[in-house]
Amino acid sequence: MKQPKFNPGQIAELLKNKHVIKCAKTITYSKEFKIFAVRQYAEGKTASQIFREAGLDPQLVGEYVPDNCLHRWRRKFKAKGESGLRADERGTMRGSRKGRPKTKGLTDANRIKRLEIEVAYLKAKNDFLAKLRAQRKS
């Protein structure tokens, strides 16, 4: 998907719209607009119609942006309700919290609990592997 690059004039024009919070390489829309758009879409309006009526020209924001935004917002709305449509949550549905869990700053009680869970997991894994080896031998 090609991201639109806006020139300063286009950015200024977009920022005049009450539904746009910030604009640079991408546009950040207000939570109210996202909720409004999801509800309008549920009533049968197309994504392009919703954006056009809100003063956001699909030619300016990008041809496929309205459809992509509505798809993403509807998925978030279905999963988390209105609270999932906050303006600063881009990327959270795609698993932005990947990687090793943070262990710095844990209390001793939390560290012990985490280690107990890890030990239980490893015991279950060893039991599974032992059963698997036993099945292969027989």
Residue 1 lies in a domain: no
- Cα distances (angstroms) measured from residue 96 to each of 62, 79, 93, 99: 25, 16, 7, 9
Domain range enclosing 135:
101-138
Say whether pTM exceeds 0.75.
no
**pLDDT tens figures, 108-118:** 999 999 999 99
Residues 56 and 87 in one domain: yes
On the question of pLDDT at 3 being above 70, the answer is no
Residues 77 and 39 in one domain: yes
Residues 70 and 118 in one domain: no
d(CA 77, CA 92): 13
